[in-house]
Amino acid sequence: MTVASRIRQKLTEKLSPTRLDVTDDSHKHAGHVGARPEGETHFSVEIVSAAFDGVSRVQRQRMVYDVLKEELAGPVHALELRTLSPSDDAA
């Protein structure tokens, strides 16, 4: 299973998003610190979840970091997050 697939699976299981976009941006960071030739080190995630209702931006990011702690301790070097509640997404 790819790192991107694991990210999607874990976030889906734990946060039940209504929308989830996971993008591997590793190719943009080739040669930078933390980049590996095989990629799957730098990701952008946009997630919309009711779990984020009434939760601050920092708390939302911490929730995602907690779900992905194994990936962040291993293959993922950088993670760009956009965390939205359904009401944020409708705006």
What was the pLDDT predicted at 29?
A: 52
| Residues of the chain below pLDDT 70 | 27-39, 91
Q: Is the separation of the CB atoms in 25 and 79 below 8 Å?
A: no
Condensed to tens digits (0 to 9), the pLDDT of residues 45-62 reads 999 999 999 999 999 999
What was the pLDDT predicted at 3?
A: 92
Angle at alpha carbon of residue 68, lines to 14 and 84, rounded to 5°: 60
The superfamily CATH assigns to domain 3-90 is: BolA-like (3.30.300.90)
Q: Give, to the nearest 10 degrees, the angle between helix 57-67 and helix 3-15.
A: 120
Q: Which amino acid is at 46?
A: E
To the nearest 10°, the Cα dihedral for 4, 28, 30, 79? -50
CA distance 44 to 87: 21
How is the chain split into domains, by residue range?
A: 3-90
